[in-house]
Chain A
Amino acid sequence: MSGLFTRLADQQRKPCHFFVNGTACTARTGDTIMTALLTLYGHLRLTEFTSSPRAGFCLMGACQDCLVLQENGERVRACSTLLQENMRFVIPEQNR
């Protein structure tokens, strides 16, 4: 699955390692969780009521659409949270 976001500028930052569905991934220190995930994946979560894929919307913490599930059961707002080393995310697969 290809990502949504495209890296354009200021991308020479220290690598930051994390996991998605158990798979090891790499992004950059200074990336938000949203950037890290959406440069690699096409969505962040599935909605509660129709299992539709969502990838955030406003990027400023208003729409609450970019909530990502972590393996420890906690959900985090991806657009306003910086990626930390070894974070572990769960992104359910879409039914296409």
Chain B
Amino acid sequence: MRVQAPVIVGAGPAGMRAAQVLVQAGLRPIVIDEAPKPGGQIYRQQPDGFTRGARQLYGFEHSKASALHEAARQMIASGQIDYRPNTLVWDADARQLYVTRDGKHDAIAYERLILATGATDRVLPFPGWTLPGVYTLGGAQIALKYQGCAIGKRVVLAGTGPLLYLVAYQYCKAGAQVSAVLDTSPFPTLRQGVQAFVADAPLMAKGVYYMAWLRARGVSMMHGVAGFEADGVGRVESVRWRKNAASAMQTLPCDALACGFGLRSENQLASLLGCDFVFDEQDCNWQPQVQPGGQSSRANVYLAGDGMRIGGADMAELTGRQCAYSVLQDLGIHCDKKQVAQLARRIARGRKTRQCIDRMFALPAHWLDTVDDTLMVCRCEEIRVGEIRQMLRDDPHSGLNRMKALSRVGMGRCQGRMCVTGASMLLAHEQGITLSGVERLRNQPPVKPIPIGGAACRP
């Protein structure tokens, strides 16, 4: 019985481990990668010509990164997977994926599909966030990892999440000057700390290590920061921040600011495929519904990694493998039941760990409570709070999608990636509802902008 090759979208930890399980079962999956080399964002490989080793690039995770890269390299070189780099999947229907490579459009048929599309930084708007010199935490990390550069000479890091401390550590270690770390989350309580250690001691130990290392080098770290802004003419020149709502703003001279509030799943393809979505309280975001084995609400679509639920690289490897086992089981191919069960247990433990982390670094729910009309919410279309409020005055019960249609928020090139959290939070605040009460922003193809020219129609 010929089984059509399963297709995997994404070549990060989730996608590659899924591929590995399928290959071990004798299948030859197609792996579609938007990037030129496997690794995703977390284990992004540097361009040719760079010479730094894995330790320098990935720190404590270097052996995991190397193992993943080696596994990928091996599968590609031996032809065990059909690897399609530099290929963007921008839409999908029940039978095929719509792709673009080098400006040419094409389609790839599938019968079983694993989506391992990862995540981006989750960002919130603040005054000055569009100034040159302001980047996301993930972006600052990529500048270092992928290009050996720092985003500036005196960098302030602000927001919340484990990435805040990791990037601060990586930057300092590489010789950049980190002026300060501004964390909107309060310092973890003893209880939170204990729970986290019980859940995953090695992971927490790393976090403690980064903080201690930074402290030893005199990097000031502020917790429970109530707000921050970027100031400057034509570029960021300083960051102003306040300790709490009542206190005065303090100024930090700098030439770069990296910001982020956790991660935001890339789940647009799941949406376009018609998967059911639920509001996930933990991720504080709409996410595709997923069964314990990784199946979505659509029979032949499986979800893994950060694109399904934020969980980090280790979880991505686990859920990637789990999805692949589910595909095999659904194909009637024998699976090692003990492995599958062990995987499920590890994933369950990972989820508990994740809960602890999310509680320690929660999205600041009141970020936009006292926001000014002049704050720009949508970077692409340059829409400010004032315009949105005007629209809501005419249509007070507007949902998020109508808000998009009438105010243009989310109608720009980034298709809502950078503004959805801010827009949702603003709407929730203006309407006096919780974030979970704001409807999901509908996705429209293409998932990313595609060039007009070069349409090649497959018969």
Q: Is there a direct interface between A and B, measured as CB atoms under 8 Å apart in the complex?
A: yes
Is the C-beta of B160 less than 8 angstroms from some C-beta in chain A? no
Is the C-beta of B73 less than 8 angstroms from some C-beta in chain A? no
A42 touches B132 (CB 8 A): yes
Question: Could you say which residues of chain B place their CB within 8 Å of the CB of A4?
Answer: 132-133, 151-152, 235, 255-256
- Of the listed stretches B49-57, B243-251, B344-352, name the one at the interface; the rest are far from the partner chain: B49-57
Is the C-beta of B198 less than 8 angstroms from some C-beta in chain A? no
Question: Could you say which residues of chain A place their CB within 8 Å of the CB of B140?
Answer: 59
Which residue of A is nearest B48, CB measured?
A30
B135 touches A59 (CB 8 A): yes
B138 touches A58 (CB 8 A): yes
Q: How far is the CA of A96 from the CA of B148 in the complex (A)?
A: 31
Partner of B176, one of A8, A49, A52, A62: A8
Question: Could you say which residues of chain B place their CB within 8 Å of the CB of A57?
Answer: 130, 134-136, 139, 379, 418
> Given A5-B151, A7-B148, A30-B48: A60 and B382 within 8 A (CB)?
no
Chain A's interface size range is 35 or more
B139 touches A60 (CB 8 A): yes
Partner of A8, one of B138, B174, B380: B174
B139 touches A56 (CB 8 A): yes
What distance in Å separates the Cβ of A3 from its nearest Cβ neighbour in chain B? 10
B234 touches A94 (CB 8 A): yes
A10 touches B174 (CB 8 A): no
Give chain B interface residues in 113-157, CB to chain A under 8 Å. 120-121, 130-136, 138-140, 142-144, 146-153
B147 touches A58 (CB 8 A): no
Question: Could you say which residues of chain A place their CB within 8 Å of the CB of B382?
Answer: 47-50, 52
Point out which of A50, A61, A64 has the most chain B C-beta atoms below 10 A from its C-beta: A64
> Given A5-B151, A58-B138, A63-B418: A10 and B234 within 8 A (CB)?
no
B contact residues vs A (CB 8 Å cutoff): 34, 41, 46-52, 56, 120-121, 130-136, 138-140, 142-144, 146-153, 174-176, 233-235, 255-256, 266, 379-382, 412-414, 417-418, 448-449
A contact residues vs B (CB 8 Å cutoff): 4-14, 28-32, 35, 39, 42-43, 47-50, 52-65, 67, 79, 82, 94, 96
